[in-house]
Structures are given as structure tokens and as C-alpha cells.
Structure 1
Amino acid sequence: MPEGLRQRLIGAWKLVSYRETPVDGSEPFEPLGHAPHGIIMYTPDGYMSAQLSTSDRPVFASGDWFDGTTDDYTAEATTYIAYSGPFHVDEENQTLTHTMFVSLFPNWTGQSQPRVVRLEGQTLHLSTASPISSSGKTVNSALTWRRAEPN
């Protein structure tokens, strides 16, 4: 019997691309730039964590996480996406849901968000199941991940 979707997701995946397509027909854009960094992990016990960032994040001049300037904190928050929590797979319908137990974006904390999922060999395609707000637009998000090599 072939492995189910849940089992095939288990492990770490590195971000290849992140693209948002506005529903108003305007130009698609890459909110974290052309070469974003990121890892999404799915654990056997049902948890996931997603960490995404631009590839050129500025460092804090102070070198102290808790002693940044307003500009430091603005850049920190606008160049990084992070959330973790339980995930659920509906094998019958081949659907995936992420539940945000913690999130850098506080509005997502406690939310469950369905994802459209497609696995092609070592490539994972995830997209929003319905439009979201991003950069002042209503968009559909599409992310491509490649399975991370074992460490």
C-alpha cells in the first residue's frame, strides 16, 4: 500500500519560491524577494513549523535582540514569517490544515488555515485555499519547497 499524504510530508523542506498573485489581476509579486530562505518541518507526532525570510536581512547595530531601534524591529518583522503548531491531514480529501499555536503575526495565533497541497517527488507545492490579505492586496499565495537533504 502506498504511503499516505501525512507520511510523505514528514521531514524538513527548504523554500524554493514564494509568490503571491493578487485576485484583482495585477502583477504577481515575491514578498520575500527572488531568493527567499525558509524551512518548513512536519513531525511524526503531528506538529509543524514554518520559518521564512528574505535572504538579505539587516542585523541590529546593537547586537542585542532586546535593544533594537524602531527601524530594526520594523525590518525584523517585515522580512520574516514564522508560525508553528499542529497540522492535520485529511487523507480521503488529500487536504492539509496548519493550526497556528504561535505566530510572529499575532492575528494568526489560534487560527487554522487550510492549504492546497501537491507532492511531486521531492517537491512540495503549498498554496492558500482561499485568498488572504498581503501587502495591502487580496492574494493567493503559492510556495514551492524541496525536501531537505538529511543532516
Structure 2
Amino acid sequence: MNGRTEDETTAAHLRAALVGTWRLVSYEAVAVDDGEVVHPFGKRPLGLLMYAADGYMSAQIAAPDRPPFDGNRLESGQPEELADAARHYLAYAGPFHVRDDRTVVHQVALSLFPNWTGHAQLRVARMAGGTLELALTEPAQIWGRTRTGVLTWHRAQANTSSSADDALRDPPM
């Protein structure tokens, strides 16, 4: 006996299994009262979720087919372009840890949505093979209604590109 409880072993195992890069497959938000399903970033969202062995994470989620700005510089974007870009993109990063009950805690150190900075985002994790489901721990207001949310991720293939040109031709999305 090593003095560790089963829950501690489960939390440590889950933390180790999370390490790597994950590709977003779906994000569904289901209304608590009538089951209406919405897809906040579209039915085929883009996203990468990275968990590093040193205890940090980064999440990037975008709606597909976001229109480009008229100009080539972010700071030159028109207010409507900037608002639309932010409306269809979510990014945050910071330390993470796993609780004994399989809750993954993302301590948000920086975020596109400033209200999240300095706060924790809690997700219940379920893993099966190369699939990771992260669900909200409690219903939340999503698109004006109380909903549960589930994000489904698949483990990304290793980036074995030998040059930037190769990586651009065959992105991991």
C-alpha cells in the first residue's frame, strides 16, 4: 500500500491522461427546461485545447468560416469587424489541476473574455480512448437560457511536419 487513496490515484491518472493537445469535435449547449440544443460556435467548431505536463493549459475555440477583416492589421479593424471576431472566438489560459471527483479546474490567468480572468472554470471530465468530454459542472446562461454544456474533444495527431509549409498544408484541425 502506498498510502494514496483511490481518488488520488484517479485524479493523478486523469491529469496525466489529459496532457497533450486535443481537437474540438463539438460544443453543444442544451436548455434545461425543454432540451433545445444550440451550437454556440456552429455545428463544426474549430478548437485546440492543450494541457502541458508542467500544469498549464490553453484553450482556443472559434466558429468556422469567420470573415477576414478588410485590412491586414488587427489594430486597423473596424468596430464591427472586431466585435464579430470576438463574438465568434474564445481563448483562455492558465494553470490547471484535477480534483478527486474528476473535476478539471482551469484557473484563468488571461482570457479574451476579461470577466473570466482571475476566476476558475470548472469542467467534469470523461475520457474514453482518444475522446475527452468536458461538461459544465452546473447549468449556466448560454444564449439567454439556462443550459448544460458539453465540449467533445479528440486527441490531436502529433505534429510531425518538417517545415512550416508542411504544417500549413495539413493543419491538425
TM-score by length of 1: 0.94
- Of 78, 81, 87, the residue aligned with 1:72 is 81
Counterpart residue type for residue 134 of structure 1: I
Aligned to 1:106: 114
**Matching residue of 1:23:** 32
Q: What SS does the corresponding residue of 1:55 show, helix, strand or coil? A: coil
Rounded Cα–Cα distance in structure 2 between residues aligned with 1:23 and 1:124: 23
What is the alpha-carbon distance in structure 2 between the residues aligned to residue 128 and residue 75 of structure 1?
25
Matched, 1:84 2:93: yes
Larger Rg: 2
- Structure 2 stretches lacking a partner, 5+ long: 1-8, 160-173
Distance 1:114 1:32 in 2: 20
What is the root-mean-square deviation in Å for CA atoms of aligned residues? 1.5
Deviation at 1:145, TM superposition (A): 0.2
Aligned residue in 2 for 1:142: 150
Matches of 1:24 and 1:87, distance apart in 2: 32
Distance, in Å, in 1 between the alignment partners of 2:33 and 2:69 is 37
Match of residue 125, structure 2, among 93, 114, 117: 117
Amino acid corresponding to residue 84 of structure 2 in structure 1: A
* 2:136 pairs with 1:128: yes
2: CA distance, partners of 1:43 / 1:109:
20
State the number of aligned residues: 150
- Secondary structure (helix, strand or coil) at the match of 2:38 reads coil
Q: Which moved more, 1:8-17 or 1:134-143?
A: 134-143
Offset, 1:26: 4.8
Q: How does 1:50-61 map to 2 (within 5 A)?
A: 50-61=59-70
Q: CA shift at 1:131, angstroms?
A: 1.5
- The answer to whether structure 1 residue 4 and structure 2 residue 4 are counterparts is no
Normalised by the length of structure 2, the TM-score is 0.82
